[in-house]
């Protein structure tokens, strides 16, 4: 068990837990296997909870926000006065519905493509860090991998539209494919700007570099990253096919776009995929530009100093302080992502929809050149600063120094913790 | 279950290669032929990466596989443009109809 | 144990998907099975500790090339689900030839001692004097042993964990972190991939322009024809 799967940090942790509770040597093969399976299932369960739970909340939020923006109340009945059980009630209703397959449809592909879209969207959560060290697969090229995985959703959608055997679905799928494939390019270039500043594709490293105050966040690194964030957010909104770019399912012209022929459970998991990829792109934006799991006000360092050294003796390599800080970090990251999702919902209910040619023009004629310019300018910015002020940043330590001090500090921290525990 | 070794990966590569060759030879749909080409290239890639892991080929295997992926993408783009042109000329994608150059 | 299990799952998916691509006549289903097969190949890359390559496979092959192929299917279909049938005789001949080819390949895979042969690679990093010893030993171990420098052993450790992003990037810039310069190739220089990388970049640009021109030229001719007919 090494390589890609060795990155499961929980595996080691659970092995140590079991061994220190039962006083067994860690090297035992079957124990490691049990620990691995337990870690895998725990991770899968947690991720599945996040993957399933957040869309439920977002759908409720969408209806509430839409209602308020249109001067209505939104759902009020199911589950108390805020209607917070509305989504679950809807879900139960949807599962009960008949699973229709049209006569004209290619039944195998028609049945399979919702799963393809959902798997792609769920797989992106695999490499998304929720906090420092809380990541299912700590791949070295995590940022590249998440862009790759999010781009797979389009396949399920094209196949769904094409295999439906309906003109509306086919038009929707064609639009969707053209839109998502085009918007991938500026999205990758915009994501490349903070990645280039960090000099790493690893989300852990990128997150740690933005620790400290909010002035360390990459969005405030230079004027071009500031603009790049807004460019990225626009492109991300388009790539998860939200309004004003939701031409693939434009109700007024295409009935419902690629999922016209779907019903019941398959229809609902398309929505699960859409809302969870909304969270995924927002979390990537928070990680790359908005400081990740750091709150930027120093609350996490206060928490760490409060809980420093408490509960270290319980299990090898575990300390309550870092655990509390991690939980706080996870809350911070999810809050940031939820705020960005709220902005997406807000935009959907306030802006009119573009035409399909305008969507393509926006991407190819405006967003691609803008992102290319921002990338080039972000490359040249430190060089200009070096020639003018003979230092790569205006204030504070340079990124490289910050990364170096962070990595040595964390390494020292871990070794101290392990040394104290041994 | 024995230890997964080099030859297991080479077997997978061989199956992909043979499937691709048969696909290229038997399909009459132009897009199907293209899919066969992709399978063949993937079979080669599996071999490259397997050798880079299990032998001293090291980084060279992975680099070559990366070049193969990039060139395959380029090949697919051009081949698709040719297929579209073929369809515009013949109103079908059946490659058996492309026999105008016969003397 | 887990790794073996995962290997068998993904190997079966890869081979099954490839066979299904050959066996189905419907182009859309072929595209679906191709996605299954190529996605599982990406998983095999992850198992082979080539993380970056697996991600590239997902992004370029599954997310790019196959989408392009599905586009092609949509744009060239004359009816709803076009199936251009292969005649049964051709199918049987193809299957027979394929099975024979597979048997040849499998027997050659089984009969060759790959580890021993790879020890004799001209570009392998160990020095010629140690070549005799390494033929007996496994090549992987010899790579670790001969890597006397700290950088080389660090590289090996990274490669064991699939962290090859930095190494791949450096080799595209013409540097080889995994090679000891003193023991390197004939000129005493470790070969990088700078020139091929530049050639591929220019090649991609040419392909971009060429494909756009090819796909566009015909339509213009058709519209001109219509104008002349009017």
- Who's near C172: CB < 8 A, 6+ residues apart? B63, C192, C193, C194, C197
Q: Which of A300, A378, A288 is nearest to A340 (CA)?
A: A288
- Asked if A242 and A348 count as a contact pair (C-beta separation under 8 A), the reply is yes
A393 confidence band (pLDDT: 50, 70, 90): confident
Higher pLDDT, A414 or B101: B101
Helix (H, G, I), strand (E, B) or coil at B94: strand
Distance (Å, whole) CA A36 – CA C2: 9
How many percent of chain C have pLDDT more than 90?
12
Residue count of chain B, please give it.
Answer: 103
Higher pLDDT, B102 or A216: A216
Whether a cis peptide bond, with omega within 30° of 0, leads into A244 is yes
Which pLDDT belongs to residue A326? 79
In terms of average pLDDT, the best of A55-69, A296-310, B29-43 is B29-43
Task: Give me the residue spans of the domains in chain C.
Answer: 1-81, 116-172
- Reading the block at residue C224, the tokens are 């001109």
Across C117-130, average pLDDT:
51
B97 touches chain C (CB under 8 A): no
C178 touches chain B (CB under 8 A): yes
A33 touches chain C (CB under 8 A): yes
Bridge partner residues of A131 (DSSP): A134
Model confidence pLDDT, tens digit, residues A6-46 = 444 555 666 666 666 565 555 566 776 777 777 777 767 87
Calculate the CA A354 to chain-centre distance.
26
Distance (Å, whole) CA A240 – CA A232: 12
3-state secondary structure A95-123: HHCCCCCCCCCCHHHHHHHHHHHHHHHHH
- Reading the block at residue A296, the tokens are 């930027």
Judged against a pLDDT cut of 60, whether residue C122 lies above it is answered with: no
Chain B interface, mutation test: which of C214, C221, C226, most B Cβ atoms within 10 Å? C214
What is the total count of domains within chain A? 1
Q: Which of C181, C192, C49 is nearest to C125 (CA)?
A: C181
Which pLDDT belongs to residue C217? 56
- Who's near A279: CB < 8 A, 6+ residues apart? A54, A55, A58, A337, A338, A341
Distance (Å, whole) CA A195 – CA A209: 11
Helix (H, G, I), strand (E, B) or coil at B93: coil
Which pLDDT belongs to residue A390? 75
Distance (Å, whole) CA A206 – CA A198: 6
Provide the chain C residues 97-126 that lie in CB contact (below 8 A) with chain B. 97-98, 101-102, 105-106, 109-110, 114-115, 118-119, 121, 123-126
Bridge partner residues of A134 (DSSP): A131
Looking at the partner chain, which of C77, C84, C119 has a beta carbon nearest the beta carbon of B56? C119
Instruction: Name chain A's partners: 3 or more CB pairs within 8 A.
Output: C
How many CB atoms neighbour CB C2 within 10 A?
A: 13
Size of interface B-C (CB pairs under 8 A): 247
Task: Give me the residue spans of the domains in chain B.
Answer: 8-93
Which pLDDT belongs to residue B96? 74
CB atoms C63 and A163 under 8 Å: no
**Residue C143 to residues A227, B64, C23, C118, Cα–Cα distance (Å):** 47, 20, 43, 11
Distance (Å, whole) CA A14 – CA C103: 46
Higher pLDDT, C205 or A262: C205
- Who's near A202: CB < 8 A, 6+ residues apart? A138, A139, A140, A141, A142, A143
C2 touches chain B (CB under 8 A): no
Whether residue A44 lies inside any domain: the answer is no
- Chain C residues within an 8 Å CB radius of B70: 60, 200, 204
Calculate the CA C186 to chain-centre distance.
28
C194 touches chain B (CB under 8 A): no
- Who's near B96: CB < 8 A, 6+ residues apart? B28
Calculate the CA B93 to chain-centre distance.
19
Provide the chain C residues 198-217 that lie in CB contact (below 8 A) with chain B. 200, 203-204, 207-208, 210-212, 214-215, 217
- Asked if A83 and A60 count as a contact pair (C-beta separation under 8 A), the reply is yes
For residue C45, the chain B residue with the least C-alpha distance is: B49
Bridge partner residues of B29 (DSSP): B94
Q: Which of A297, A280, A269 is nearest to A213 (CA)?
A: A297
Distance (Å, whole) CA A18 – CA A15: 5
Model confidence pLDDT, tens digit, residues A201-257 = 888 888 888 877 777 788 888 888 889 999 999 998 888 877 777 776 666 667 777
**Residue A39 to residues A21, A62, A371, C90, Cα–Cα distance (Å):** 17, 34, 40, 51
Judged against a pLDDT cut of 80, whether residue C13 lies above it is answered with: yes
- Chain C residues within an 8 Å CB radius of B48: none
Domain B8-93 falls in which CATH fold?
Answer: Helix Hairpins (1.10.287)
Chain A interface, mutation test: which of C36, C162, C166, most A Cβ atoms within 10 Å? C162
B92 touches chain C (CB under 8 A): yes
Across A164-181, average pLDDT:
82
How many CB atoms neighbour CB A417 within 10 A?
A: 18
pTM (two decimals): 0.81
CB atoms C193 and B77 under 8 Å: no
Instruction: Please name the residue that has the structure tokens 């104290």.
Output: A420
For residue B86, the chain C residue with the least C-alpha distance is: C76
Instruction: Please name the residue that has the structure tokens 């049987």.
Output: C92
Whether residue A363 lies inside any domain: the answer is yes
Model confidence pLDDT, tens digit, residues A178-189 = 888 888 889 989
- Asked if C82 and A170 count as a contact pair (C-beta separation under 8 A), the reply is no
- Chain B residues within an 8 Å CB radius of C200: 67, 70-71
- Who's near A379: CB < 8 A, 6+ residues apart? A196
A143 touches chain C (CB under 8 A): no
Judged against a pLDDT cut of 70, whether residue A162 lies above it is answered with: yes
- Asked if C60 and B66 count as a contact pair (C-beta separation under 8 A), the reply is no
Size of interface A-C (CB pairs under 8 A): 107
Whether residue A30 lies inside any domain: the answer is no
Which of B3-12, C78-87, C117-126 is predicted least confidently? Answer: C117-126
Backbone angles phi, psi at A139, to 5 degrees: -75, 145
- Chain A residues within an 8 Å CB radius of C55: 139, 141, 144-145, 148
CA within 13 Å, CB half, B62: 33
CB atoms A106 and C55 under 8 Å: no
Chain A interface, mutation test: which of C28, C60, C73, most A Cβ atoms within 10 Å? C28
Q: Which CATH number fits domain C1-81: 3.30.420.10, 3.40.228.10, 1.20.120.1200, 3.30.110.30?
A: 1.20.120.1200
Asked whether the CA dihedral C140, C141, C142, C147 is positive or negative, the reply is positive
Distance (Å, whole) CA A134 – CA A207: 12
Model confidence pLDDT, tens digit, residues A76-129 = 777 777 777 888 888 888 888 887 788 777 778 888 888 888 888 888 888 888
C143 confidence band (pLDDT: 50, 70, 90): very low
- Asked if B43 and B13 count as a contact pair (C-beta separation under 8 A), the reply is yes
Show the beta-strand stretches assigned E in A342-390. Answer: none
Q: Which of A348, A213, A212, A218 is nearest to A285 (CA)?
A: A218
Distance (Å, whole) CA C129 – CA A309: 55
Looking at the partner chain, which of C58, C67, C160 has a beta carbon nearest the beta carbon of A177? C67
C45 touches chain B (CB under 8 A): yes
Helix (H, G, I), strand (E, B) or coil at A297: coil
CA of B14 vs chain C CAs: smallest distance (Å): 6
Backbone angles phi, psi at A83, to 5 degrees: 65, 35
């Amino acid at each position: 068990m090494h390589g890609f799967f060795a990155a499961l940090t929980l595996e080691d942790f659970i092995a140590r837990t079991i061994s220190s509770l039962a006083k067994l040597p860690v090297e035992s093969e079957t124990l490691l296997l049990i620990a691995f399976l337990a870690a895998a299932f725990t991770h899968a369960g947690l991720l599945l909870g996040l993957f399933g739970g957040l869309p439920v909340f977002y759908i409720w939020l969408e209806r509430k926000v839409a209602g308020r923006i249109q001067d209505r109340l939104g759902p009020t009945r199911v589950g108390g006065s805020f209607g917070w059980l509305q989504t679950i009630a809807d879900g139960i209703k949807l599962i009960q519905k008949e699973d229709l397959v049209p006569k004209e449809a290619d039944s195998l592909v028609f049945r399979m493509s919702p799963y393809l879209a959902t798997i792609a969207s769920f797989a992106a959560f695999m490499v998304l860090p929720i906090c420092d060290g809380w990541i299912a697969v700590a791949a070295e090229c995590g940022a590249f991998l998440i862009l790759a995985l999010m781009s797979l959703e389009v396949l399920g959608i094209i196949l769904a539209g094409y295999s439906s055997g309906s003109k509306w679905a086919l038009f929707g799928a064609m639009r969707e494919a053209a839109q998502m494939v085009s918007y991938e390019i500026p999205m990758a270039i915009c994501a490349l700007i903070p990645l280039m500043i960090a000099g790493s594709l690893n989300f852990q490293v990128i997150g740690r570099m933005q620790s400290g105050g909010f002035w360390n966040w990459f969005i405030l690194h230079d004027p071009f990253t500031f603009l790049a964030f807004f460019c990225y957010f626009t492109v991300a909104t388009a790539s998860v096919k939200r309004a004003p770019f939701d031409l693939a399912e434009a109700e007024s012209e295409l009935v419902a776009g690629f999922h016209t022929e779907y019903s019941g459970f398959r229809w609902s998991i398309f929505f699960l995929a859409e809302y969870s990829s909304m969270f995924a792109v927002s979390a990537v934006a928070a990680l790359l530009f908005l400081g990740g799991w750091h709150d930027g006000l120093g609350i996490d360092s206060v928490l760490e100093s409060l809980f420093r050294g408490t509960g270290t003796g319980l299990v090898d390599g575990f300390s309550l302080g870092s655990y509390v800080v991690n939980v706080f970090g996870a809350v911070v990251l999810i809050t940031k992502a939820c705020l960005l999702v709220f902005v997406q919902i807000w935009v959907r209910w306030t802006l009119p929809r573009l035409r399909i040619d305008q969507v393509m023009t926006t991407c190819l004629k405006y967003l691609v050149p803008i992102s290319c310019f921002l990338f080039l300018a972000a490359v040249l910015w430190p060089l200009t600063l070096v020639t003018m002020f003979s230092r790569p940043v205006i204030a504070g330590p340079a990124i490289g120094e910050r990364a170096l001090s962070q990595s040595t500090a964390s390494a020292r921290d871990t070794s101290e913790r392990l040394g104290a525990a041994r | 279950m024995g230890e997964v070794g080099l030859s297991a990966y080479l077997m997978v590569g061989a199956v992909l290669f043979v499937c691709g060759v048969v696909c290229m030879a038997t399909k009459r749909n132009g897009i199907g032929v293209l899919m066969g080409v992709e399978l063949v290239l993937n079979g080669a890639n599996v071999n490259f990466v397997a050798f880079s892991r299990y032998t001293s080929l090291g980084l060279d295997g992975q680099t070559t596989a990366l070049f193969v992926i990039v060139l395959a993408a380029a090949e697919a783009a051009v081949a698709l443009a040719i297929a579209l042109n073929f369809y515009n000329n013949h109103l079908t994608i059946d490659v058996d109809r492309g026999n105008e150059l016969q003397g | 144990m887990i790794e073996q299990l995962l290997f068998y799952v993904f190997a079966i998916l890869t081979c099954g998907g490839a066979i299904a691509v050959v066996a189905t006549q419907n182009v859309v289903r072929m595209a679906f099975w191709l996605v299954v097969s190529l996605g599982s190949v990406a998983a095999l890359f992850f198992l082979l500790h080539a993380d970056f390559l697996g991600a590239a496979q997902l992004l370029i092959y599954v997310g790019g090339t196959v989408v392009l192929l599905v586009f092609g299917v949509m744009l060239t279909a004359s009816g709803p689900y076009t199936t251009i049938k292969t005649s049964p005789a051709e199918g049987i001949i193809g299957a027979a030839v394929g099975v024979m080819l597979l048997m040849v390949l499998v027997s050659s895979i089984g009969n060759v001692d790959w580890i021993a042969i790879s020890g004799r690679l001209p570009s392998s990093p160990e020095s010629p004097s140690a070549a005799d010893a390494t033929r007996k030993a496994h090549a992987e171990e010899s790579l670790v042993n001969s890597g006397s420098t700290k950088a080389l052993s660090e590289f090996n450790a990274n490669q064991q964990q699939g962290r090859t992003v930095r190494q791949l990037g450096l080799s595209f810039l013409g540097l080889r972190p995994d090679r000891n310069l003193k023991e390197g190739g004939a000129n005493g220089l470790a070969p990088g991939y700078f020139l091929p990388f530049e050639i591929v970049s220019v090649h991609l640009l040419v392909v971009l322009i060429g494909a756009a021109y090819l796909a566009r030229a015909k339509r213009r001719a058709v519209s001109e024809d219509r104008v002349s007919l009017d």
